[in-house]
Structure 1
Amino acid sequence: MSYVVLVAWLVQAAVGVLLLTGWLRHGRTHPRIVVTHVALSVLGVASWITYVLTDRVLWAWAAFVLIAIGNGFGDNMLLRRTRRMGGSHLSTVNTYKLALRSMFKGRLPFRVSFHAMFAGVVFFSTLAVCIIETV
């Protein structure tokens, strides 16, 4: 299972690299949020790889903590983007709802939608392995 999760991490990272490349090419704003998100993600995948190589569950939990924090920064970027699309007056919960509707209706680029939704797959599969390996 840890190898399946590793593949999920690597797929997510590959899409993240595509998004980062586009972001750099277009000179987007809020670089601290993006850099923090990317740094936490890189450290997370490195921790997961270390877990796979050493079979020490502490590394898996470190990866989970890093992805949990990193996803918060990713969510922040998604909410900012959604608010720019017309949700500036909405509460956070309603902005999340608008973001989801925007993803499913194709109003956001496919890469952004995939990356945002697949983050949950990586998050929960990482958590599952952490729990199973700890018990």
Structure 2
Amino acid sequence: MAIEAGTEAPDFALKNQHGETVRLSDFRGEKNVVLLFYPFAFTGVCTGELCALRDNLPTFVNDDVQLLAVSNDSPFSLRVFAEQEKLDYPLLSDFWPHGEVSRAYGVFDEEKGCALRGTFVIDKEGVVRWTVVNGLPDARDLNEYAAELAKL
């Protein structure tokens, strides 16, 4: 069960596609965060979602907002994926311990070994303000979380 709005977002430290450590707490007091979990790099629906975010990046990466995209892929896979798709925002690896952060947010599919499509809008105080979880084959509507961001 995914964590709900009103819950303090669990902090984490994950490597991005460049091998740098990114912590959710790095943005506390500074920026709202769109935390997006996706199953795997190089898959059709995931690539479509992440490229749609790339194409609308000023909405999700600006002085007030940071987009963090998390999958259970290795940082090396994420680097190639980011370069191939020209994704210029943090792709975070929840590879090892496998799915630890995905589990903390309640979006890890134990049977499939990957994250579900969970999105969490987290305010500057570190509190989840909005969440949606879609099944593996179902793409999210980025306009929904853009609208939620506008309310903060």
TM-score for the superposition, normalised by structure 1: 0.27
Q: Going by fraction, where is strand more abundant, 1 or 2? A: 2
- Of Structure 1 and Structure 2, which has the larger fraction of its residues in helix? 1
TM-score where L is the length of structure 2: 0.25
